[in-house]
Structure 1
Amino acid sequence: MFDTALTLNDLIFLAQGAGMTLAVTGVAVTAGTLLGILFGVLRFQLGAIWFAPLTFVLDIFRSVPLLIQLVLANAFQSIAKLGWPPFTTSCVVLSLYAAAYCTEIVRGAMAAVPPTTRRAARSLGMTWGQDLRYIVAPLATRVALPSWIGLTLGVMKDSALVLWLGLIELLRASQILVTRLQEPLFILMICGLIYFLLSFPVARLGAYLERRWSPHD
């Protein structure tokens, strides 16, 4: 018969860790998406040459492993005596990390809009802003959605790395219970199940919106 020392309080502890995971992910994805939209539009409109300095910075965030970014950011903020708590440092780094990828998602989605469609909008007397709002944005959103959903799920899983800053999110909470109860397989199975339960609705929502917005419907 299966026996475990896991208690209700331990499950509540895991739920609190899951809540922290959602909080970090929510802040990072929201801020990263807003920055990504801004940078993506600028990248598309200004071109690679004028946007080169910021592109270089974003390439750093895409190229350097996230764990190294978290450790360096935590060290630099300590040296600068900013006094950021682990949650703030984690959100800042993950937001910039998400923004770096979201920028290219937005730029690629805007580039996928046929130039003839935009010229037709201009020929009808639309301004640049109207063209962007009523023509480019709806079409680009359809193109960007699958990649954005993948980015969101990736950030949620990558948020597990913030445990190195001392933040008790889901994986760190699981590690604490494993150390105390010595039941790694069972506890990590529960941890994986919670990650699945957090990710599955996002993936299904993305699939639903993709079907709903499909031009073949």
Structure 2
Amino acid sequence: MPAPTEIQKPTLGGLLREATREFSGFDRGLPYTVRSLLTAPGATVGRCLEGHDARITRPLRLFLATLVLYFAAASVGGVDEMNARGLEQSLATFGVSGSDFTTFFSRYQTALFALVLPLMMFATRASWPRAGRTLAEHLILNTYLFAAQLVIMTALMPLRFMVEWAGVEAQTALSLHSVAGGVLSIGYAAWMMATFFAGSRLWSAIRAIAIQLGMMLVYWIVVLAVFLALAKAGVG
């Protein structure tokens, strides 16, 4: 009988190479799409929905590529370990450790991050009911938004190391990175919504900021609730 084929386990290096191939394939449109989203977010999504620019990468593919890139960068930078240490005290009141939560989040990260998309879809649909956009269009809009925010957070990753090299404690550096990333991500969302929806840009930006803050709170409450339920049930 032939010897069984050895299963090749995925490696971090393999994930990084895969992400690099995705972003270096100019014929596939990923670099073009990212550049367009970071320079003209509302117009880019509009061209995609109207079918006027075939070079724009489809939202799901872009989301998955940026998700892989972000978590690969976070793993290399030791962000998971520092998050665990930062969560130890907060989660101690629930009888669980930060490392348990980090393990849970790492295992189900794709599904948990995907949870943001339907939440944002309904939030923007409720906030712009007269925009004439379908739920599917709102889902596409928010998928592009989240993918661009992941790019921003990944691009800021070196900031944490720069702050650490300046003598700041690792946990403080991580907090500064999170705050900077949060501010830029929320600001970017305001810019995208203000340039995508018709009407007052200021009012659209204010609504976008309110949605981002509200959905962020709801998201983490849901994630924590799922984690505590699984921990109580003894599911790893």
More helix by share: 1
TM-score, normalized by the shorter chain, greater than 0.5: no
**Greater RCO, CA 8 A, separation 6+:** 1
- Give the TM-score, by structure 1 length: 0.31
- Give the TM-score, by structure 2 length: 0.29
Structure ID, larger Rg: 1
